[in-house]
């Protein structure tokens, strides 16, 4: 088994791809109906925990599946989105504080790298200030791993925890509500 894993060129991407397949199986597999029924019975508590899972790369696909399942069986997808947003905010706050304090030395080193300086100098002045928050916002709102967006925001020294919380909650809630809307109307 270990030999097989060593032969895979991109094992982390392979594992991520396998989580997508597993999430699809949970959502559409007939043999998983007891699991789906359990997820439905969790209601808003399930939405909160799915929100936590929505923030992490390897669990985002499962969270999306959970939200799609919940959307089919609960009447108020907007309240579900608000609750899921709180779960995601909780996870993102843990990430933000961890990255801001634990990765500070590496973020400072990375900012001094030639390639970073090269691209930063080439950016028009009007784009320099908002580029990191905009990129981070796109990543946080989507089911892509929040780790990337949170890292971008945590690298901005002047970015406050209050501003981060507002952005994280708003964007995650919007992304989750959009997934719930799709689950209610199109899946």
- pLDDT tens digits for 155-165? 888 889 999 99
What is the mean pLDDT of the segment spanning 103-113?
A: 82
In whole angstroms, give the CA distance from residue 104 to residue 83: 31
Q: What is the dihedral of CA 157, 161, 167, 171, to 10 degrees?
A: 110
What is the mean pLDDT of the segment spanning 83-109?
A: 89
pLDDT at 81 over 70: yes
pLDDT at 118 over 70: yes
- What confidence score (pLDDT) does residue 30 get? 60
In whole angstroms, give the CA distance from residue 128 to residue 111: 14
In whole angstroms, give the CA distance from residue 149 to residue 96: 10
The pLDDT tens digits for 15-25 are 778 888 888 88
Reading the block at residue 4, the tokens are: 């097989």
- What confidence score (pLDDT) does residue 1 get? 60
């Amino acid at each position: 088994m270990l030999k097989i894993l060593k032969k895979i060129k991109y094992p982390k991407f392979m594992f991520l791809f396998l989580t997508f397949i597993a999430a699809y199986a949970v959502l559409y597999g007939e043999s998983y109906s007891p699991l789906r029924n359990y997820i439905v019975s969790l209601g808003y508590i399930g939405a909160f925990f799915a929100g936590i899972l929505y923030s992490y790369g390897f669990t985002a696909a499962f969270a999306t599946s959970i939200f799609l399942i919940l959307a089919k069986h609960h009447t108020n997808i907007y309240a579900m989105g608000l609750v899921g947003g709180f779960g995601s905010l909780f996870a993102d706050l843990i990430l933000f504080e961890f990255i801001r304090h634990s990765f500070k030395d590496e973020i400072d080193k990375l900012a001094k790298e030639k390639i970073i300086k090269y691209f930063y100098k080439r950016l028009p002045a009007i784009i320099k200030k908002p580029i990191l928050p905009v990129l981070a916002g796109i990543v946080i709102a989507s089911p892509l791993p929040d780790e990337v967006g949170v890292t971008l925001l945590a690298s901005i020294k002047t970015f406050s925890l209050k501003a981060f919380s507002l952005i994280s909650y708003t964007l995650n809630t919007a992304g989750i509500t959009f997934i719930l809307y799709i689950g209610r109307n199109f899946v």
